């Protein structure tokens, strides 16, 4: 049983990695092309609306997807009931936001936001159509289908957005990418997944899931409101251009931190749920995930800090240089994100969704105090407070992990220390090389290569566990590929 689960987990992790890496590459390439054609104001207009889409996604799902994954013997009636509820909520939310569009435009003093809202918010019902299909793929570790759908949909949507940008369509290129992705994902999921809803709506299913999912949805709403509130504050008090600089900085650091988070979370939550009654096994899985996350997140984020200036200057053009200081600070916050996500999913899998809700309320109260104090003191002050909030969230996660599975601060530090110190040494040496190079182009080309050689060479020399695991996994996949 354990070997079977390990095999499924490894295969799912490979497909999850392919999915997330592929998506981020599409976003990166399309983002670079779009950023060179569009203005910070265009990005600001879409950036201030992301909170509404994120909140709608939480309300539509209502935490039922996690409940379905966690339930070992979910029935067709369970899936069908949640599906119809998702559709109904999405239609109500779209109608409300459609009516609210003029007020949103008036709040930001941008009249064209009315039409942008009404078109962009069509994402909401489109996403609702594919929630159950995706839930079933996650639950049964069929991530190869999930990866294929996501990559095909994102590739086509990105191509359409780039064409529109070159045709001078401005902000509508960004709207097309977001809405096109949602429409194509819905079409592909229904085409390549044979699940169809039955004509049944079972109130007993909703009552069964409500106690668990209600805590998830409230904590999700609170979390998303505050996670997406910075563009609204910046847009209201500092203008759309500064919002564009912030959203670009956040997007590019988030590509790295969310890449690591999403690769692991698409696998770890189903795995935690399957072994939820074996706390020692959960602890082993959790610690291994911490080491694996450390192996990837520390070098990626520290390297981005080192090369941030030439990266943005050369890749995105000089018009985006004001985003450099925002990007650097957000990268330090991004170091914490995958670990915070891991502990959040750990507690949910153990049935502590109410605890997650209570923690979110307490942490967001801390964040709210900082926003109230620093909103008028500049964007860097706001981001600095966000960094302190991220560190607090990580410490709280470790504290309760010790309480529930015996995984405390000492073990956490022991697990991350080799990777953190190796990344720190690699960064310091890379800064020295950076200072010696004659131009920004040389720095962007040479420093990442030098950093990679130092980090990988150090991991090999020190015989770090995750280095050996990664090499073994690659060799195994290549061997299977060759055998096929």
**Each residue's pLDDT tens digit, 43-88:** 889 888 888 887 776 666 556 666 676 666 777 887 888 888 888 8
- Give the separation between CA 420 and CA 407, rounded to whole angstroms: 19
Mean pLDDT value across residues 206-228:
69
- Give the separation between CA 231 and CA 247, rounded to whole angstroms: 7
Mean pLDDT value across residues 318-332:
92
Name which residue leads in pLDDT, 285 or 262: 285
Measured torsion, CA atoms of residues 208, 213, 218, 222, in degrees rounded to the nearest 10: 180
CB 301 within 8 A of CB 339: no
Nearest to 423 by CA among 412, 411, 431: 431
Tens of pLDDT, residue by residue over 156-173, are 999 999 999 999 998 999
- The answer to whether the Cα torsion of 139, 142, 144, 149 is positive or negative is negative
CB 452 within 8 A of CB 302: no
- Would the pLDDT of 26 be above 90? no
Nearest to 222 by CA among 360, 45, 25, 429: 360
pLDDT at residue 229 in the model: 82
- Would the pLDDT of 314 be above 70? yes
- Would the pLDDT of 325 be above 90? yes
- Give the separation between CA 70 and CA 84, rounded to whole angstroms: 20
| Among 11-25, 114-128, 176-190, 243-257, the least confident range | 11-25
pLDDT at residue 449 in the model: 95
pLDDT at residue 478 in the model: 59
**Residue 406, Ramachandran bin (φ over 0: left; ψ between -120 and 50: alpha; else beta):** left
Mean pLDDT value across residues 110-133:
89
DSSP H or E stretch at residue 210: helix 203-227
Mean pLDDT across the chain: 83
In angstroms, the Cα distances linking 212 to 28, 58, 71, 179, 465 are 37, 14, 11, 31, 36
Q: Which two tokens stand for residue 403?
A: 């309480």
pLDDT at residue 17 in the model: 67
- Would the pLDDT of 394 be above 50? yes
Nearest to 82 by CA among 96, 72, 94, 69: 69
Name which residue leads in pLDDT, 389 or 282: 389
- Would the pLDDT of 416 be above 90? yes
pLDDT at residue 134 in the model: 79
Q: Which two tokens stand for residue 197?
A: 């809803």
What 8-state DSSP symbol labels residue 73? Answer: T
pLDDT at residue 64 in the model: 66
Tens of pLDDT, residue by residue over 433-483, are 999 999 999 999 999 999 999 999 999 898 888 787 777 766 665 565 554
In angstroms, the Cα distances linking 164 to 85, 171, 245 are 35, 9, 22
Name which residue leads in pLDDT, 308 or 236: 308
Nearest to 379 by CA among 481, 236, 246: 246
- Would the pLDDT of 275 be above 80? no
- Would the pLDDT of 395 be above 90? yes
Mean pLDDT value across residues 384-404:
92
pLDDT at residue 346 in the model: 83
pLDDT at residue 484 in the model: 46
| Among 58-72, 79-93, 249-263, 290-304, the least confident range | 58-72
- Would the pLDDT of 128 be above 60? yes
Residue 326's CB: how many other CB atoms inside 10 A?
24
Mean pLDDT value across residues 23-46:
86
């Amino acid at each position: 049983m354990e070997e079977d689960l390990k095999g499924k987990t490894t295969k799912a992790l490979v497909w999850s990695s392919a999915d997330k890496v592929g998506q981020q590459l599409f976003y990166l390439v399309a983002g670079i092309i779009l950023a060179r054609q569009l203005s910070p104001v265009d990005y600001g207009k879409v950036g201030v609306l992301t909170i509404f889409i994120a909140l709608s996604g939480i309300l539509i799902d209502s935490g039922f997807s996690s409940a379905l994954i966690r339930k070992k013997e979910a029935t067709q009636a369970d899936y069908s009931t949640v599906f119809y509820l998702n559709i109904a909520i999405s239609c109500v939310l779209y109608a409300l936001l459609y009516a609210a569009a003029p007020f949103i435009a008036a709040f930001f003093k941008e009249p064209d936001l009315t039409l942008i809202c009404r078109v962009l918010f069509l994402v909401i019902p489109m996403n609702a159509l594919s929630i159950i299909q995706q839930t079933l793929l996650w639950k049964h570790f069929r991530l190869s289908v999930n990866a294929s759908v996501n990559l095909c949909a994102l590739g086509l949507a990105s191509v359409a957005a780039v064409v529109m940008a070159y045709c001078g369509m401005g902000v509508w290129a960004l709207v097309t990418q977001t809405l096109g992705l949602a429409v194509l994902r819905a079409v592909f999921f229904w085409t390549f997944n044979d699940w169809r809803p039955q004509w049944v709506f079972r109130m007993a299913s909703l009552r069964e899931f409500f106690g668990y999912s209600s805590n998830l949805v409230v904590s999700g709403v609170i979390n998303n409101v505050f996670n997406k509130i910075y563009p609204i504050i910046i847009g209201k008090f500092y203008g759309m251009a500064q919002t564009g600089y912030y959203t670009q900085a956040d997007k590019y650091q988030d590509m790295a931190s969310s890449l690591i988070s999403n690769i692991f979370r698409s696998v770890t939550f189903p795995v935690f749920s399957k072994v939820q009654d074996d706390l020692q096994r959960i602890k082993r899985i959790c610690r291994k995930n911490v080491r694996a996350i450390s192996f990837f997140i520390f070098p990626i984020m520290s390297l981005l800090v080192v090369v941030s200036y030439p990266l943005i200057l050369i890749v995105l053009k000089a018009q985006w240089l004001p985003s450099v200081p925002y990007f650097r600070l957000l990268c330090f916050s991004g170091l914490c994100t995958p670990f915070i996500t891991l502990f959040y999913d750990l507690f949910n899998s153990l049935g502590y969704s109410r605890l997650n809700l209570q923690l979110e309320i307490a942490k967001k109260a801390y964040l709210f105090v900082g926003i109230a104090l620093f909103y008028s003191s500049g964007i860097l002050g706001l981001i600095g407070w966000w960094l302190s909030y991220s560190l607090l969230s990580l410490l709280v996660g470790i504290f309760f992990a010790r309480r529930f599975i015996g995984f405390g601060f000492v073990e956490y530090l022991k697990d991350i220390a080799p990777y953190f110190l190796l990344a720190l040494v690699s960064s310091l040496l890379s800064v020295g090389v950076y200072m010696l190079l004659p131009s920004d182009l040389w720095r962007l080309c040479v420093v990442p290569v030098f950093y990679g050689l130092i980090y990988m060479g150090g991991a090999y020399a020190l015989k770090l566990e995750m280095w050996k695991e990664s090499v073994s996994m690659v060799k195994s996949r290549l061997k299977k590929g060759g055998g096929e």
